[in-house]
Amino acid sequence: MAIQTEERRAKELRLEELRRMLASAEVLKDPKNYANLSREYKKLEQIVQKYEEYDKILREIDGVDEVLASDDQELRTVAEHEREVLEGRLERIKNEIEDMSNPNYEEFQKNCIVEIRAGAGGDEASLFGADLFRMYQKFVENHGFKSELLSSHPSEIGGFKEVIFLVSGENAYRLLRFEKGVHRVQRIPKTEAGGRIHTSTATVAVLPEIEETQLAIDPNDLRVDTFRAGGHGGQNVNKVSSAVRLTHLPTGMVVVCQDERSQHKNREKAMKILRARLAEAERQRRDAEIHQQRQQQVGTGDRSEKIRTYNFPQNRITDHRIGLTLYNLENVLDGDLDDVIAKLEQHERTDQGSK
């Protein structure tokens, strides 16, 4: 029996309607409308294909059930294992259909911009920011995503006061969106002579990348300042005015990029960050609930605000949102976040299903 029969039929009818519309001369004359309808068609086509895959597995289960009625114990043992595997696949497809039916599905598929800032704890907070940056770089590498540094402000001791990077790959935002919030570390700093455990924090923001075609910024609303970059980069960086500061006049939002030797590249990266931040601000303006949620997640960096704790003496990581505790801190910091993210997704799905 197919799942969500009425909803499925509605999607199949809409898919047929879209197929006809996309072939009409009227729609072809309107590139913007054609692009919107094409995106909707692609999404619905993928969902309908998942329904068909679901039906196929149901038929396979029916075949296995016939074997389970057999008198041959050996065959029944094999069939029991096969049925368990098929039921697992069935559950995964149901979850995929739920995800694809989520109004945020297209946003989940986007690339994302990750911003890490040192919070409470002084120099140790900047070192922790560098640890988080390395953790996400490893995670990105493990998933075959690409990472591009957009902006960084190193600390004098080798950490980061702030580091911003772009993650490119299908479902990048979906996988990393749970990371937004305050991360807390408890460990003995190398500079601590007394061996006392120090607590510090770093804040993480995760924003879906916004393409230029999705959010146009009026050039008259921008003030562009160029200046000589400081810090790392060699003599060329310091001698040439390659650093770029963008100020969005209507909002007062400021973005600075100076890591590249090229002024053009720094401006391009600054625009990526600015578009993402403006889009996020607009979402906050439209939806007070989202605004409140983001403030709760990102917060001020105070030690009392936290989504996750990394405890080095006990080799422990605790995600406070779902009460998850794991004793594999070294693996997590080496980019193995999959188990944590899977548990967060499962909790979110269960929570939404109970509403």
Q: What is the DSSP string of 250-313?
A: TTTEEEEE-SSS-HHHHHHHHHHHHHHHHHHHHHHHH-HHHHHHHHHHH----TT--SEEEETT
- Cα distances (angstroms) measured from residue 9 to each of 5, 25, 99: 6, 27, 18
Q: Which of 273, 299, 286, 319 is nearest to 111 (CA)?
A: 273
pLDDT of residue 172: 92
Contacts of residue 13, defined as CB under 8 A and 6 or more positions apart, other chains included, come to none
User: Model's pTM, two decimal places?
Assistant: 0.69
pLDDT of residue 247: 92
Ranges in the chain annotated CATH 1.20.58:
5-101
pLDDT of residue 58: 92
Tens-of-pLDDT digits for all 355 residues of the chain? 456 688 888 999 999 999 999 999 998 898 888 888 998 898 899 899 999 999 999 999 999 998 888 888 888 889 899 999 999 999 888 888 887 877 777 778 889 999 999 998 888 999 999 999 999 999 999 999 999 999 999 998 889 999 999 999 988 998 999 999 999 999 988 767 667 889 999 999 999 888 766 777 888 889 988 888 765 444 444 566 788 899 999 989 999 998 888 888 898 899 889 989 988 887 777 665 544 544 544 455 555 569 999 999 999 999 999 999 999 999 999 999 999 999 998 888 777 665 5
For the chain, the helix, strand and coil percentages under 3-state DSSP, each to the nearest 5: 50, 20, 30
Q: Which of 275, 284, 233 is nearest to 255 (CA)?
A: 275
pLDDT of residue 211: 75
Ranges in the chain annotated CATH 3.30.160.20:
219-286
Task: Identify how many contiguous H helices and E strands the chain contains and give both numbers.
Answer: 12, 11
Distance CA 219, CA 276 (A): 17
pLDDT of residue 304: 53
Distance CA 306, CA 353 (A): 26
Q: Is 36 helix (H, G, I), strand (E, B) or coil?
A: helix
pLDDT of residue 291: 47
pLDDT of residue 131: 96
CATH number for region 219-286? 3.30.160.20
5-101 is classed in which CATH architecture?
A: Up-down Bundle (1.20)
Fold category of 109-212+290-353 in CATH: Alpha-Beta Plaits (3.30.70)
pLDDT of residue 292: 54
pLDDT of residue 213: 65
Identify whether the C-beta of residue 202 lies closer than 8 Å to the C-beta of residue 128. yes
Ranges in the chain annotated CATH 3.30.70.1660:
109-212+290-353
Helices 31-68 and 5-22, axial angle in degrees (round to 10): 140
Task: Give the residue carrying structure tokens 């570390």.
Answer: 185
Q: Which of 353, 333, 290 is nearest to 107 (CA)?
A: 290
